[in-house]
């Protein structure tokens, strides 16, 4: 069996076996099956990295037909190019770590079989998402990871808070999906297909198209870009639709690490990067992305300053880092965004799993105010948290240094007002990031122990099954930046022929993709890139050449217009721009030491001195309160109102009205049946008169005259 | 070609079962009840076997009607017993045949009084449902379509809950008005075109003004059946009072008759009117989707909640059908099939816990995932289907419909797509309150998990929901030729209308005289008599035995 199938379907197999036969194989069996298959998937993904990225190729593996309705044709297919393979590697490696870690972390949970099944289900859905060859399959994965997220946030389903958080995550994400779904429809109407190849090949010819959308004529690419971005906002917890992410920390910690830090929440970044050929022609959409990303980075960081729940601090940090990725996308530095996505996946998963190890050691305590002074008791975890934080703060040699600095540089290099805004916000957020990271370390590990004796006695280092994954992730958090820097975002150093021009949209991409016959023939699509394939090999000197050349690395998975190539420009930014982030991080770390170790009274002092600002941050900018008042309450109110209107209006004037009207008529008419003969006789006479009058040829209008005649005669 | 009159067999086999039940007596009440149950189950399973035969023998490439049977019924009036299925009706026949044995099995222990009569009612219902979807003569259709009301009315009225009488009469009142109007419409068509042959009627749309009146008349009937907002209020009451199996059939098949009617009558026979009224249908559908989703959110009664969700889901169906695009119509039909499976199964799952605790109140449950894990899993999959998660059949129909709508009107599509958001909360909230949470009620915490019999009910439904979500091809392939044909008919109908209008404008006297729009409904203006539909002529070559039912 080939690696393509194994990488994607091994987790599915793990899920199915565990889900269907969980009772037979038991918890231990489930753990072995799911972890074993995850190892298979991760190995396959790495093998694909070798063959696809280093081998300089990309192709599509068709699977089966999904939906076919006239010219709306969608197939199940797996797409392997640099972007998807990078994502697959990140997903499978982090997921394998989390699977193994969960064996230890959930060892006392009675439902650990189900837990392992859900983790594998998630991984499968995520792999379907990143390997999708069309928008609808992407949507399948998109909703699938949403489902897994819902199931895992609410995993402890007898807890009300967990259930609420799960529902919130699902529904808020659906708001984003609403935009994404409309985006898919818009793409179908504009391009006549939802296949990536077809769309990307036709983008250039439709770049000036305007379409009518709800009565307005809008530039098609801008419309599509903004709609797709709406989906990304929901999934990646960007400002506006972010409220679900902190609440999602109700789920078990391995879930937070895998889904709500490393993989699922980055799906939005992936989506935008995947659609780089289209976004390149939607500058307004890119501007919106930059602004939203910059604001998210800053706002989330400010909230992170004030939180006390260890997981929530990391959650806001995640949100903030996602903001960085988005403004990188917004300035067309897709490679930089994906680079940060990868490094972030390692160090954030490390931080979360480290936090999980702390929580595990502290007998399920998550409040940092009840921690402190434990670093000697759990030195390994402590070291891991240091590595994660150093990477997050962007300290030199650690992974975050390479990716985060790159993002700040591209923002500066964009030379636009929103690029500058992103740069300023990003720099500010960098100080805050370093500050809250060390605040977390110092509050958790240093100072006097604030937990009760009983808890302190039980503090112990986690078992190897939990620490080993931490070590693996730590390696990633240290090395992934330095090793992959040149591949993801390196400068042009192979001479002028590999300059910005080579990063430009390749004119030869799928020359016949626009053909009608092209739809629904994935086999054909899989052989379209042979030309480039060999071209990549020609210039290849060693097997790892792709790791040194950005254009060879990405092939055409990401496409940037020459004038938008900010990654190239970023290598030429002024010296101070390159050094400022490190200074800022140092400042943040120093401040944290002053606040939380040297002068521990300072935080309370500052909180009092800047009361309104502190409340704003502590209350998370009042988003939850606002949404509750504006949407939740009003929705319920409308529901009650409409329920009433069903009874009081529709039924009253409909069937009940008709029924009561008929019974009213019946009641009236039943009075006539009085039993008195004289009444019957009277009614009969009246009836007779009416009948006669009707028969008589009397003109209705002249009836007055008739009466007058009658009266006149009597006089 | 088709030796076995499989449609007639499917339609009348249940009645044979009825005869058996009536004639076989048991030594006592219990034995006769058991006999009745067994007979009903076997009869309905036989029908399923025939349905399988039908599905296997169905010619995928043929857009027209297959398995055609045509016998003269009232020769003097030209009314015939005319049956046949195409890709559209096939699935409704299959759905009906599939749900009835499930219903019978679901009532196995739940129904304790008048078991014999109950089983008879269900078999009669099955016969009439299948007949409705097979009938190709408008009067035959009318007879089946309206007669379905009777057993359903009885099932709610006799075996229903405490407010069953109110519900039954409400159900009846709503449908009555529509029925009368539809009869008038069918009679008018018959008088105008001189035939009650549905395929012929489909190919010969009447004049525009008349179309408008007739469209409104049949709309009254089908809109109530769907049900569309604002004539939906009978549905929650009917569901709440109906026994479990009654709800399953009601949601699973009866609601689909409205959609089927739109596809068979409104769209092909009155294309110009359909085009004219499409915006109205769109907005009514959008209102239905939003309004009923919100109403569902605040319900305390499980069945009411699911009933309201049905109205919202049917909103997509009407939306899709009247876009007259391939994706819209196919999406609408797929949505009906999917909803038949999902909501049928959802009502079954309500029935499962109702049988144990005898209440539909959501707050009486809670935390039952602990004692009923299998049930929780089944219910979860169904809930996700209802929410329209990709990978379940719910998604395919909903999304195709939206794709269809988007092509026609983006504003409507935006409003309809809010259903993606609004469709989730009420189901998640229901699930959370019933299945998750703390176990607040001791009796709910003691309920036993699904029995083997109950699993048997769910397995085929859940399997189909997932299968059709991942590989909808089986349905789509069979739908497509017939839907294509339907759209061709619709468009040629519009074309004819346009030609007539142009002819009238240009003042071509002879043309005007011939196809002058009927201002009133007077007979003098009926001037053209249609040729018998040529595309069906091939199947009439077979020697047709003439059965005179009047003798």
What is the nearest CA distance from A175 to chain B, expressed in angstroms?
A: 6
A600 burial class (0-12, 13-18, 19+ CB within 10 angstroms)?
A: middle
pTM of the model: 0.87
pLDDT range class, residue A541, cuts 50, 70, 90: low
The predicted structure's pLDDT at residue B77: 82
Measured between CA atoms, the residue of chain B closest to residue A186 is B406
Contact A182 B417 (CB under 8 A): yes
The predicted structure's pLDDT at residue B530: 41
pLDDT range class, residue A519, cuts 50, 70, 90: very low
User: pLDDT, tens digit, for every residue of A44-86?
Assistant: 999 999 999 888 888 999 999 999 888 889 999 999 999 999 9
| Mean pLDDT taken over chain A | 86
Interatomic CA distance for residues B346 and A245, integer angstroms: 31
Judge whether residue A127 has pLDDT over 90. yes
Interatomic CA distance for residues A657 and A653, integer angstroms: 5
Verify cis geometry, omega within 30 degrees of 0, for the bond prior to B230.
Answer: yes
Judge whether residue B540 has pLDDT over 80. no
Residue among A65, A69, A651 minimizing CB distance to B326: A69
Structural contact between residues A532 and A508, judged by C-beta atoms closer than 8 angstroms: yes
Residue among A66, A72, A139 minimizing CB distance to B327: A72
Cβ count near A200 (within 10 Å): 21
Characterise A447 by phi-psi region: left (phi > 0), alpha (psi -120 to 50), beta (else). Answer: left
pLDDT range class, residue B386, cuts 50, 70, 90: very high
Q: Tell which residue, A156, A159, A70, A145, has the closest CA to residue A112.
A: A156
Work out how many CB contacts closer than 8 A connect A with B: 150
The backbone torsions φ and ψ at residue A482, rounded to the nearest 5 degrees and listed phi first, read: -65, -40
Judge whether residue A428 has pLDDT over 90. yes
- DSSP code of residue B2: -
DSSP state string for A534-587: HHHHHT--STTGGGT-HHHHHTTSS---GGG-HHHHHTTS-HHHHHHHHHHHHH
User: pLDDT, tens digit, for every residue of B112-126?
Assistant: 888 888 889 999 999
Contact A170 B428 (CB under 8 A): yes
Contact A139 B170 (CB under 8 A): no
Measured between CA atoms, the residue of chain B closest to residue A189 is B407
User: pLDDT, tens digit, for every residue of A180-217?
Assistant: 999 999 999 999 999 999 999 999 898 888 888 888 89
pLDDT range class, residue B444, cuts 50, 70, 90: confident
* Buried residues in A124-149 as b, exposed as e (16+ CB within 10 A): bbbbbbbbbbbbbbbbbbbbbbbbbb
> Which residues, numbered 482 to 511 in chain B, qualify as contacts with chain A under a Cβ-Cβ cut-off of 8 Å?
484
The predicted structure's pLDDT at residue B551: 34
Judge whether residue A687 has pLDDT over 90. no
What is the nearest CA distance from A538 to chain B, expressed in angstroms?
A: 42
Residue among A68, A143, A167 minimizing CB distance to B390: A143
Residue B507 Cα distances to B205, B208, B504, B528, angstroms: 22, 17, 5, 19
The predicted structure's pLDDT at residue A663: 80
Q: What is the largest CA-CA distance in chain B?
A: 82
Q: What is the ipTM of this complex?
A: 0.87
Judge whether residue B549 has pLDDT over 70. no
The predicted structure's pLDDT at residue A704: 67
> Which tokens is B505 given?
């404008």
User: pLDDT, tens digit, for every residue of A605-642?
Assistant: 888 888 888 888 888 888 888 888 888 888 888 888 88
- Which residues of A are less than 8 Å from B437 in CB distance? 157-158, 160, 163
Give me the residues paired with residue B135 across strands.
B83
DSSP state string for A656-707: HHHHHHHHHHHHHHHHT----HHHHHHHHHHHHHHHHHHHS---GGGHHHHH
The predicted structure's pLDDT at residue A703: 63
The predicted structure's pLDDT at residue A714: 52
Interatomic CA distance for residues A290 and A284, integer angstroms: 10
Structural contact between residues A272 and A326, judged by C-beta atoms closer than 8 angstroms: yes
Structural contact between residues A64 and B471, judged by C-beta atoms closer than 8 angstroms: yes
**Helices (H) and strands (E) in chain A — how many of each?**
33, 4
Q: Is B533 helix (H, G, I), strand (E, B) or coil?
A: coil
The whole-number average pLDDT for the span A426-454 is 90
pLDDT range class, residue B23, cuts 50, 70, 90: confident
Contact A66 B472 (CB under 8 A): yes
The predicted structure's pLDDT at residue B281: 93
The predicted structure's pLDDT at residue A537: 47
A303 burial class (0-12, 13-18, 19+ CB within 10 angstroms)?
A: buried
- Of A715 and A287, more confident: A287
Own/partner contacts of B539-547, CB < 8 Å, gap of 24 or more, are B539/B1, B539/B65, B539/B68, B540/B68, B540/B70, B542/B1, B544/B70, B544/B71, B544/B72, B545/B71, B546/B71, B546/B72, B546/B75, B547/B71, B547/B72, B547/B73, B547/B81
Contact A167 B432 (CB under 8 A): yes
Verify cis geometry, omega within 30 degrees of 0, for the bond prior to B227.
Answer: yes
- Which residues of B are less than 8 Å from A21 in CB distance? none
The predicted structure's pLDDT at residue A644: 85
The predicted structure's pLDDT at residue A238: 92
pLDDT range class, residue A510, cuts 50, 70, 90: very low
What is the nearest CA distance from A69 to chain B, expressed in angstroms?
A: 6
Contact A67 B396 (CB under 8 A): yes
Chain B contact for A21 (CB, 8 A cutoff): no
Contact A214 B410 (CB under 8 A): yes
User: pLDDT, tens digit, for every residue of B403-413?
Assistant: 999 999 999 99
Q: Is B34 helix (H, G, I), strand (E, B) or coil?
A: helix
User: pLDDT, tens digit, for every residue of B344-361?
Assistant: 999 999 999 998 888 888
What is the nearest CA distance from A197 to chain B, expressed in angstroms?
A: 20
Which of A8-17, A485-494, B496-505 has maximum average pLDDT? A8-17
User: pLDDT, tens digit, for every residue of A556-600?
Assistant: 888 888 888 888 888 888 889 888 989 999 999 999 999 888 888
User: pLDDT, tens digit, for every residue of B487-520?
Assistant: 999 999 999 888 888 888 886 554 444 444 444 4
What is the nearest CA distance from A359 to chain B, expressed in angstroms?
A: 24
Contact B436 A154 (CB under 8 A): yes
Interatomic CA distance for residues A430 and A424, integer angstroms: 10
Interatomic CA distance for residues B29 and B117, integer angstroms: 12
- Which residues of B are less than 8 Å from A148 in CB distance? none
Chain A contact for B357 (CB, 8 A cutoff): no
Structural contact between residues B258 and B174, judged by C-beta atoms closer than 8 angstroms: no
User: pLDDT, tens digit, for every residue of B91-114?
Assistant: 999 999 999 999 999 988 888 888
Residue A347 Cα distances to A301, A479, B177, B204, angstroms: 17, 11, 68, 70
pLDDT range class, residue A713, cuts 50, 70, 90: low
Measured between CA atoms, the residue of chain A closest to residue B411 is A214
Interatomic CA distance for residues B446 and B443, integer angstroms: 5
The whole-number average pLDDT for the span B283-290 is 93
The predicted structure's pLDDT at residue A697: 55
Judge whether residue B262 has pLDDT over 90. yes
* Residue A424 neighbours by CB under 8 Å, 6+ apart: none
The whole-number average pLDDT for the span A501-518 is 38
The backbone torsions φ and ψ at residue B509, rounded to the nearest 5 degrees and listed phi first, read: -60, -45
* Residue B257 neighbours by CB under 8 Å, 6+ apart: B129, B132, B145, B148, B222, B225
> Which residues, numbered 102 to 141 in chain A, qualify as contacts with chain B under a Cβ-Cβ cut-off of 8 Å?
136, 139-140
Interatomic CA distance for residues A692 and B389, integer angstroms: 71
Q: Tell which residue, A85, A77, A4, A78, has the closest CA to residue A52.
A: A85
Q: Is B371 helix (H, G, I), strand (E, B) or coil?
A: coil
Query: What is the length of chain B?
Result: 551
Judge whether residue A509 has pLDDT over 80. no
* Residue A83 neighbours by CB under 8 Å, 6+ apart: A130, A270, A273, A274, A338, A554, A557, A558
Chain B contact for A213 (CB, 8 A cutoff): yes
User: pLDDT, tens digit, for every residue of A626-684?
Assistant: 888 888 888 888 888 888 888 888 877 777 777 788 788 888 877 777 777 777 888 88
The predicted structure's pLDDT at residue B522: 43
- Which residues of B are less than 8 Å from A642 in CB distance? 291-292, 294-295
What is the nearest CA distance from A615 to chain B, expressed in angstroms?
A: 31
- Of A117 and A552, more confident: A117
- DSSP code of residue A442: H
The whole-number average pLDDT for the span B415-419 is 92
The predicted structure's pLDDT at residue A1: 53
* Residue B482 neighbours by CB under 8 Å, 6+ apart: B63, B64, B86, B87, B88
pLDDT above 70: percentage of residues in chain A = 90
The predicted structure's pLDDT at residue A530: 40
CA contacts within 13 A on the Cβ side of A153:
28
């Amino acid at each position: 069996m080939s690696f393509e199938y194994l990488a994607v379907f091994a987790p599915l197999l793990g899920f199915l076996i565990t889900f269907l036969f969980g009772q037979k194989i038991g918890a231990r069996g489930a753990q072995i099956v799911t972890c074993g298959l995850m190892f298979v998937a991760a190995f396959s993904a790495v093998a694909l990295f070798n063959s696809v990225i280093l081998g300089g190729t990309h192709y599509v593996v068709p699977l089966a037909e999904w939906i076919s309705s006239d010219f709306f044709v969608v197939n199940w297919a797996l797409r392997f190019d640099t972007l998807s393979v990078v994502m697959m590697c990140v997903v499978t490696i982090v997921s394998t770590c989390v699977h193994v870690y969960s064996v230890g972390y959930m060892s006392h949970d009675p439902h650990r079989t189900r837990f392992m099944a859900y983790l594998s289900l998630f991984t499968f859905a995520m792999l379907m998402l990143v390997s999708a060859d069309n928008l609808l399959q992407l949507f399948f994965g998109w909703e699938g990871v949403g489902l897994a997220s819902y199931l895992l946030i609410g995993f402890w389903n007898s807890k009300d808070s967990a259930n609420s958080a799960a529902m919130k995550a699902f529904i808020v994400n659906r708001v984003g999906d609403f935009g994404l779904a409309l985006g898919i429809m818009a793409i179908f109407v504009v391009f006549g297909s939802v296949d990536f190849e077809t769309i990307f090949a036709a983008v250039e010819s439709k770049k000036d198209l305007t379409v009518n959308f709800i009565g307005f004529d809008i530039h098609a690419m801008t419309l599509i870009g903004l709609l797709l971005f709406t989906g990304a906002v929901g999934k990646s917890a960007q400002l506006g639709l972010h409220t679900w992410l902190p609440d999602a920390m109700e789920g078990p910690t391995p879930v937070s690490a895998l889904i709500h830090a490393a993989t699922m929440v980055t799906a939005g970044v992936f989506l935008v990067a995947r659609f780089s050929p289209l976004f390149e022609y939607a500058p307004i959409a890119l501007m919106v992305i930059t602004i939203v990303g910059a604001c998210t980075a800053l706002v989330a960081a400010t909230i992170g300053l004030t939180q006390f729940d260890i997981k929530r601090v990391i959650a806001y940090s995640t949100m903030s880092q996602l903001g960085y990725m988005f403004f990188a996308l917004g300035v067309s530095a897709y490679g930089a965004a994906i680079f940060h996505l990868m490094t972030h996946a390692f160090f954030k998963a490390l931080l979360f799993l480290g936090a999980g190890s702390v929580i595990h050691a502290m007998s399920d305590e998550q409040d940092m105010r009840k921690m402190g002074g434990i670093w000697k008791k759990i030195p390994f975890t402590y070291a891991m948290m240091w590595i994660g934080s150093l990477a997050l703060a962007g300290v030199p040699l650690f992974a975050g240094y390479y990716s985060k600095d790159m993002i700040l540089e591209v923002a500066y290099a964009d030379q636009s007002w929103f690029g500058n805004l992103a740069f300023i916000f990003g720099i500010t957020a960098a100080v805050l990031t370093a500050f809250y990271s060390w605040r977390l370390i110092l509050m958790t590990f240093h100072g006097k122990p604030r937990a009760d004796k009983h808890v302190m006695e039980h503090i112990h280092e986690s078992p190897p099954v939990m620490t080993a994954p931490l070590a693996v992730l730590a390696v990633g958090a240290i090395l992934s930046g330095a090793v992959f820097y040149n591949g993801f975002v390196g400068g042009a150093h192979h001479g002028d022929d590999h300059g910005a021009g080579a990063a430009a949209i390749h004119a030869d991409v799928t020359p016949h993709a626009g053909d009608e016959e092209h739809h629904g023939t994935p086999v054909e699509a899989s052989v379209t890139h042979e030309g480039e394939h060999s071209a990549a090999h020609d210039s290849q000197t060693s097997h790892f050449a792709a790791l040194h050349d950005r254009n060879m690395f990405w092939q055409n998975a990401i496409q940037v217009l020459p004038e938008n190539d900010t990654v190239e420009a970023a290598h030429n930014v002024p010296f101070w721009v390159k050094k400022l982030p490190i200074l800022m991080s140092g400042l943040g770390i120093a401040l944290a030491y002053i606040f939380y170790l040297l002068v521990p009274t300072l935080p309370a002092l500052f909180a009092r001195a800047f009361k309104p600002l502190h409340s704003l941050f502590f209350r998370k900018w009042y988003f939850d309160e606002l949404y509750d008042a504006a949407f939740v309450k009003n929705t319920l109110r409308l529901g009650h109102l409409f329920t009433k209107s069903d009874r009081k209006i529709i039924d009253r004037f409909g069937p009940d009205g008709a029924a009561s009207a008929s019974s009213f008529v019946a009641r009236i008419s039943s009075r006539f049946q009085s039993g008195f003969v004289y009444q019957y006789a009277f009614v009969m006479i009246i009836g007779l008169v009416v009948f006669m009058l009707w028969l008589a040829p009397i003109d209705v209008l002249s009836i007055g005259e008739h009466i007058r005649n009658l009266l006149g005669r009597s006089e | 070609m088709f030796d076995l009159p499989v449609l007639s067999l499917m339609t009348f086999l249940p009645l044979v079962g009825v005869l058996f039940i009536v004639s076989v007596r048991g030594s006592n009440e219990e034995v006769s009840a058991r006999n009745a149950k067994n007979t009903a189950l076997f009869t309905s399973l036989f029908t399923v076997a025939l349905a399988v035969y039908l599905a296997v023998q169905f010619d995928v490439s043929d857009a027209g009607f297959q398995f055609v049977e045509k016998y003269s019924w009232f020769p003097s009036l030209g009314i015939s017993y005319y049956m046949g299925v195409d890709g559209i009706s096939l699935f409704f026949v299959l759905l009906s045949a599939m749900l009835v044995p499930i219903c019978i099995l679901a009532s196995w222990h739940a129904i304790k009084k008048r078991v014999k009569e109950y089983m008879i009612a269900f078999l009669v219902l099955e016969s009439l449902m299948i007949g409705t979807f097979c009938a190709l003569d408008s009067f035959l259709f009318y007879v089946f379509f309206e007669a379905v009301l009777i057993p359903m009315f009885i099932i709610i009225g006799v075996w229903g809950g405490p407010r069953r009488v109110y519900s039954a009469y409400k159900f009846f009142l709503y449908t009555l008005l529509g029925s009368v109007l539809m009869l008038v419409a069918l009679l008018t068509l018959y008088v105008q075109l001189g035939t009650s042959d549905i395929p012929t009627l489909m190919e010969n749309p009447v004049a525009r003004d008349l179309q408008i009146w007739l469209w409104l008349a049949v709309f009254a009937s089908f809109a109530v059946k769907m049900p569309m907002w604002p004539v939906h209020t009978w549905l929650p009451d009917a569901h709440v009072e109906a026994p479990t199996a009654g709800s399953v059939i009601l949601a699973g098949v009866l609601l689909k008759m409205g959609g089927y009617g739109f596809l068979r009558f409104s769209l092909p026979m009155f294309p110009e009117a359909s085009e004219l009224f499409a915006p109205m249908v769109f907005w009514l559908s959008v209102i239905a989707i939003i309004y009923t989703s919100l109403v569902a959110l605040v319900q305390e009664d499980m069945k009411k909640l699911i009933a309201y969700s049905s109205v919202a889901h049917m909103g997509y169906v009407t939306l899709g059908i009247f876009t007259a695009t391939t994706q819209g119509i196919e999406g609408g039909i797929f949505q009906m099939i999917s909803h038949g499976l999902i909501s049928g199964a959802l009502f079954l799952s309500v029935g499962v816990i109702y049988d144990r605790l005898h209440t539909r109140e959501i707050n009486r449950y809670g935390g039952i995932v602990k004692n009923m894990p299998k049930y929780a899993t089944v219910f979860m999959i169904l809930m996700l289907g209802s929410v329209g998660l990709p990978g379940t059949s719910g998604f395919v129909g909903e999304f195709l419909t939206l794709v269809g709508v988007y092509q026609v009107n983006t504003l409507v599509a935006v409003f309809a797509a809010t259903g993606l958001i609004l469709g989730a909360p009420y189901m998640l909230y229901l699930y959370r309150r019933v299945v998750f949470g703390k176990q607040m009620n001791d009796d709910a915490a003691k309920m036993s998990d699904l029995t083997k019999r109950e699993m048997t009910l769910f397995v085929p439904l859940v399997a189909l929901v997932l299968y059709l979500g991942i590989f909808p091809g089986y349905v789509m392939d069979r739908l497509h030729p017939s839907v294509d044909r339907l759209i061709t008919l619709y468009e040629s109908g519009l074309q004819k209308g346009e030609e007539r209008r142009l002819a009238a404008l240009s003042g071509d006297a002879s043309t005007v005289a011939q196809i002058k729009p009927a201002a009133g409904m007077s007979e003098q203006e009926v001037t053209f008599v249609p040729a018998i539909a040529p595309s069906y002529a091939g199947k009439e070559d077979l020697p047709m035995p003439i059965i005179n039912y009047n003798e």
